[in-house]
Amino acid sequence: MKKKNIFNKKYFELTGCVHNHTIYSFDAHVKLNKILKAAKKNELDYLTINDHFTLAAGDDEAVKKENDLIIIVGAEINDPEKNNHFLVFNTAEIIKGKKSQEYTKRYAESDAICFAAHPFEKRVSKQFRKYIWTDKRNDNFDGIEIWNYLSEWIGKLNPILNGLFFVLFPSKFVRKPLREVLDYWDELNNAGKRRSAIGSVDAHSERMEKFGIKFSFLTHKTLFRSIRTNVLIPEDIQVDQQNIVKALKNGNSYIVNYKVGNPYDFYAGIASSKDNSAIYGEELLLSENMYFYFRLPKIDRVKLFRNGKKIDSKLDEKGRFEITQKGNYRLEIYRFGYGWIFTNNIYVILEGRHEYFTRKS
């Protein structure tokens, strides 16, 4: 956990990995104590567990005894066709055997905080099925996974042509979020629905047997070094499970691939004065002398998006973009052709036009 000062406002920044499976999930085999050990070795501040249709991880002794790592136990559910995967937090209710319209509505009417998981998967090999979000009109969720490590990796895997390379060098093939996912996310925000974005690893620890030898790959330890969602919590707010999930819901976060680089002194935000500034997930009034500022550890390609359209770009380690119109502003930052950092939106509004929103469409 780091302390950051952005526009004279003090925050705690926590780095964490979202969407992990454990021995309590039917498709994983790794014990929680081993996962927690790997998380701490990789210096994570928080971790979310999303086993399929169960919250059993919350009763594990390793979770109860853990004091250094913040563990957030949620679940992952889906419909009977195994589509419309949904990460749910802040609820004890596990809904099974229902259509997505039913469980998204039910959770939206409760205090649950939910995210659509890997909504637009692709596959180059017919050996692997897709697990997709089947109805774009069903947007009863708080946020969306715009980048899922396992989903992208499997999407490019062809066991006959590239299987060995994908197993030995998996992160070489995880390059950036699908543009279809980013476009859908932008559509929702342009409609005033303000859905946040998260990145995830979807870690299971895969197993393979070759020449009579069994081994694991895409382990939690490996994926903890890749796609994370870093959250910012104001210094005067308690750092705990509830407030981390709220920060994810509100979009007070950015997605970063640590395999591309450590964003140790990265910051970004919009300001026209010390009294009129905002970070990701926040809104502020349009005014004169307004700029979107950024700072990076090294020179990289920084792209500015307004309402989902790229409007400017800079190759620099520190700079600013002038803001002259209302809109939803976010950054995409690339290094060596790989996606590196993707911020949530900052909402620039007109005076007297505060755009309050609800989760329901």
pLDDT per position as a tens digit, 127-186: 999 999 999 999 999 999 999 999 999 999 998 888 888 888 889 999 999 999 999 999
Residues above pLDDT 90, as percent of the chain: 89
Domain architecture of the chain: domains with CATH: 2-257 (3.20.20.140), 267-349 (2.60.40)
Higher pLDDT, 95 or 215: 95
Over the chain, what is the mean pLDDT?
A: 94
pLDDT value, residue 353: 55
pLDDT per position as a tens digit, 38-95: 999 999 999 999 999 999 999 999 999 999 999 999 999 999 999 999 999 999 999 9
User: Does the structure show a pLDDT above 90 at 351?
Assistant: no
pLDDT value, residue 231: 98
Mean of pLDDT values over 8-15: 96
Distance CA 305, CA 206 (A): 36
pLDDT value, residue 62: 95
DSSP string for residues in 80-136: TTS-S-EEEES------S--HHHHHHHHHTTT-EEEE-S-S---SSTTS-------T
The two three-digit tokens of residue 131, written as one number: 């697990």
Mean of pLDDT values over 220-248: 97
User: 13: how many CB neighbours lie within 10 A of its CB?
Assistant: 20
**What pTM, to 2 d.p., does this model score?**
0.95
Residue 205: which pLDDT band, with cuts at 50, 70 and 90?
confident
Distance CA 125, CA 122 (A): 9
Distance CA 201, CA 258 (A): 12
Question: Quick one: which of 56, 47, 62 has its CA closest to 75?
Answer: 56
User: Does the structure show a pLDDT above 80 at 355?
Assistant: no
pLDDT per position as a tens digit, 263-289: 989 999 999 998 899 999 999 999 999
- H runs (alpha helix) in the chain: 32-41, 61-65, 100-108, 149-156, 159-168, 179-190, 220-223, 241-250
Distance CA 261, CA 333 (A): 11
CA dihedral 157, 160, 164, 165 (to 10 degrees): -50
Residue 356: which pLDDT band, with cuts at 50, 70 and 90?
very low
